Amino acid sequence: MSPYDIKTEIKKIRDYYASDPLQQRFSALITGQTGAGKTFLSRTARKPVHIDSFDPGGTKCVRKWIKEGSIIADTRWEREDPYDPTVFGEWMKETKFRLEQGYFDMFGTYWLDSATSWGDAAMNYQLDGAGRIDAKSRAGEAPKFTRDYTPQKVMMINHIKRFMTLKCDFIMTGHLRTFEEVRGETKQGSEIKVVKYRFFTTGQAMVTIPMQFDELFVLIGHDVSGGVRRKLLTDAQDEYLARSRLRADEKLSVEEEPDIKALLKKIGLSWEDKPAL
């Protein structure tokens, strides 16, 4: 048995880090209000883009790019019936097959749209008792806390972790929910409340799902003369929660133009499109 060589071990670790594709991957959870332009942003991602769309009609805004072939939109997942839920089970089978076949290797970006409706489909799958022989279907019923929310959260996070190993960028969109936070009282005794916006999903998944992503961006719009100017928040600002692990070297500003490839170029990650399909 050869003696332990610390320098050799350090070199091995450094070499692994330098060649580890996961250190060069880009993953982002992009949140925003309904109509903020989250799906429309997909046209700026590394192409080709594959969109798994769970939001009914959500990809209509990118029909031009679908028609030209730079975006492939699978809209089968938009047709969920909560009383006869089949979408999530079908999506899992299709996703498993695609992962096994290396389907996503041909794409620049995998886009999951959106976490809200995807999560609803996961919950419907859970309530229907799919995959459990002795389970009675509770399709259409209200979910119960530990019995339903925990399995739903685990299913969602497990799939997200699998997507983190893809050889393409992974972007998931999500909606925002509003809540009021009490900040104190006025001299007259009235509560001082501040409105905040947070990622909209069920239970503790509001915290655990964003933790899986390198980037947590918020797409917002500012009213300007002649229309709306959209910006991507990359760091916490006012009532919004955003963060970037890639901002450490100050290459990104707190507010950036909503252009994924431009951000990637700024950060120093691969930003070029892959060959057209």
Q: What are phi and psi of 215, to 5 degrees?
A: -120, 140
Shortest CA distance to 115 belongs to which of 32, 201, 42? 201
Cis peptide, bond prior to residue 275, ω within 30 of zero: no
Q: Judge contact between 94 and 127, C-beta under 8 A.
A: no
Q: Judge contact between 181 and 196, C-beta under 8 A.
A: yes
Q: Output DSSP code: residue 86.
A: -
Whole-number average pLDDT of the chain: 85
Whole-number Å distance between alpha carbons of 48 and 51: 10
Whole-number Å distance between alpha carbons of 31 and 209: 12
Q: Judge contact between 167 and 110, C-beta under 8 A.
A: no
Q: Judge contact between 33 and 12, C-beta under 8 A.
A: no
pLDDT in tens, 68-95: 999 999 999 999 888 889 999 999 999 9
Taking the alpha carbons at both ends of the chain, their separation in whole angstroms is 52
What pLDDT does 241 receive?
Answer: 84
Q: CB under 8 Å to 275, separation ≥6 — which residues?
A: 106
Specify the amino acid at residue 24: Q
What pLDDT does 131 receive?
Answer: 46
Whole-number Å distance between alpha carbons of 112 and 134: 32
Shortest CA distance to 51 belongs to which of 4, 104, 7, 116? 104
Q: In the chain, which stretches have pLDDT less than 70?
A: 1-2, 21-23, 130-147, 180-195, 203-204, 222-227, 248-249
Specify the amino acid at residue 196: K
What pLDDT does 211 receive?
Answer: 86
Domains observed in the chain: 27-267 (3.40.50)
Whole-number Å distance between alpha carbons of 57 and 42: 15
Q: What share of the chain is helix, strand, coil (3-state, %, to 5)?
A: 40, 25, 35
Cis peptide, bond prior to residue 253, ω within 30 of zero: no
Q: Which helix (H) or strand (E) holds 254?
A: none
Q: Judge contact between 265 and 256, C-beta under 8 A.
A: no
Whole-number Å distance between alpha carbons of 31 and 219: 6
Instruction: Kindly tell me the number of DSSP H helices and DSSP E strands found in the chain.
Output: 7, 10
Specify the amino acid at residue 167: K
What is the pTM for the complete model shown?
0.84
